[in-house]
Amino acid sequence: MAAVLEERPVDTTGKKLAVTAGEIKLEHVCKTYGKGPFAKDVIKDCSFLIERSKLTVMIGPSGCGKSSLIRLIAGFESPTSGKITLNGKPVTHPGRDRLVVFQESALFPWMTTYDNIMYGPRARGEDNQKTRDLANFLLDKVGLTAFRDKYPTQLSGGMQRRAELARAMINNPEVMVLDEPFRGLDAMSKELMWEYYAKLFEESHRTNFFVTTDIDEAVYLADRLLIMTNTPMQVRAVIEVDVPRPRSLSSFFTSDRANDVKMQALSLLHEEAMKSFSGGSKAAADFVEAYAKRKNATAAE
Ligand SMILES: Nc1ncnc2c1ncn2[C@@H]1O[C@H](COP(=O)(O)OP(=O)(O)OP(=O)(O)O)[C@@H](O)[C@H]1O
C-alpha cells in the first residue's frame, strides 16, 4: 500500500495537499530489442527497489539503457522477462501514479505557465478552487509566480524545467520519474535547479527516481545511488548517500562522505567506461578523457 505521508499546506488559507509515496520493485527485468540475428539485449537481469519516500538516483554510462528502463517503469513498454511492481501490483500500462519528466521540454508553447501547470487537473475535469490554490502554491515553490502568465518561449531554460516540475507535481504521482531533466542547462542554471529540486523533495518526501549521467548532480541529490553497468545494463553497485538533509550546495562537496561517495562512484563508472572504451565506444572514450581531467584537477586542489 502507498503511504499517505503527511498533510502539507497548499496555501495560507489552510487547505492541504496529501503527498502519497509509492514503492517500485524491479525483479530480474530483461529487455531485448529486435529478433533473431538483430536481437540486442539492452537490460539484463536488473533487480532493485525504488524505496518509498526516498530519492533514488540512477547513474550509468551514456547509452547504457537508462531511458529504456524508464520506459518500462513508466509502462510505455513491457519487459521481455522479469517483473515490475508498484506497491506490489504489476505495472502493465502508463498511469498517473508514475509521472515522467523528460529531458526534452513537454510544455505546450501556446499555454501560459499557469495553464501548463493546470493542464492535468483540467484534463480530469478538476479545475476547482483546490487545484487552483495548488497551482499557485507550486508556482511559488518553483519561483515562477511572477512568470505565471508568460509563455514557455518567454522563460529561460531553467524556468521551463521548473514549470515542468510543477506541472508533474500537481498530479500528485506516487512516484516521480525524471530522465535527465536538467540536461543541456548551463552550469549555473543547473546548480540552481539542484537546489530547487532538492528543496522540493525535502519538503514532500515523495518517492523520486532520478536518472542522470552527471556525477555531481547524482551525489548531491541522492539518498541512494544506483551505479549501472554498460549495455546490457545491470546494477553494478548501490551506495547509500548518508549525508544529512537539508543539504547546502555550498558546503556539500566539502563533506568527506560526499567526496568518498563521488570518488567511489567515479571509479566504478570509469571501470564501466573502460570496458566499452576497449569495445570502441565514442561516449566511453569521452568519459575516460573527462575522468582523467577531473582526477588531475582533484589531485591539484
Ligand atoms: N526501440 C529500440 N529498438 C532498438 N534498440 C533500442 C531501442 N531503444 C533503445 N535501443 C538501444 O538500446 C541502447 C540503450 O539506449 P537508451 O536510450 O536506453 O540508453 P541511455 O542510457 O538512456 O542513453 P543516453 O544516456 O544517451 O540517453 C542503445 O544502444 C539503443 O540504440
Nearest CA among 171, 164, 186, 157 for reference residue 102: 164
Tell which phi-psi region holds residue 166, choosing left (phi > 0), alpha (psi between -120 and 50) or beta.
Answer: alpha
Count other C-beta atoms under 10 Å from residue 278's C-beta.
9
Q: 207-232 burial string, b = 16+ CB within 10 Å, else e? A: bbbbbbbbbbbbbbbbbbbbbbbbbb
- How much is the ipTM here? 0.94
pLDDT in tens, 107-160: 999 999 999 999 999 999 999 999 999 999 999 988 999 999 999 999 998 899
Q: Tell me the C-alpha distance between 253 and 249, whole Å.
A: 7
pLDDT in tens, 160-201: 999 999 998 898 899 999 999 988 888 888 898 899 899 889
Ligand 1 site, residue 40, Cβ cutoff 6 A: yes
- Please check whether residue 250 is in contact with residue 288, taking contact to mean a CB–CB distance below 8 angstroms: no
| Secondary structure of residue 165 in the 3-state scheme | helix
Instruction: Give 281 Cα–ligand 1 centroid separation in angstroms.
Output: 14
**For a substitution probing ligand 1, which of 64, 269, 286 has the most ligand atoms within 8 Å of its CB?**
64
- Range 3-97+173-300 classified under CATH 3.40.50.300: yes
Extents of the domains making up the chain: 3-97+173-300, 109-172
Tell which phi-psi region holds residue 49, choosing left (phi > 0), alpha (psi between -120 and 50) or beta.
Answer: beta
**For a substitution probing ligand 1, which of 32, 33, 44 has the most ligand atoms within 8 Å of its CB?**
33
Question: Alpha carbon of 128 to those of 13, 121, 132, 272: distances in Å?
Answer: 15, 9, 6, 51
Instruction: Give 288 Cα–ligand 1 centroid separation in angstroms.
Output: 20
- Look at residue 70 and tell me whether its pLDDT is greater than 70: yes
pLDDT in tens, 71-83: 999 999 999 999 9
Angle at 260 between CA 285 and CA 246, to 5 degrees: 110
Q: Tell me the C-alpha distance between 178 and 114, whole Å.
A: 21
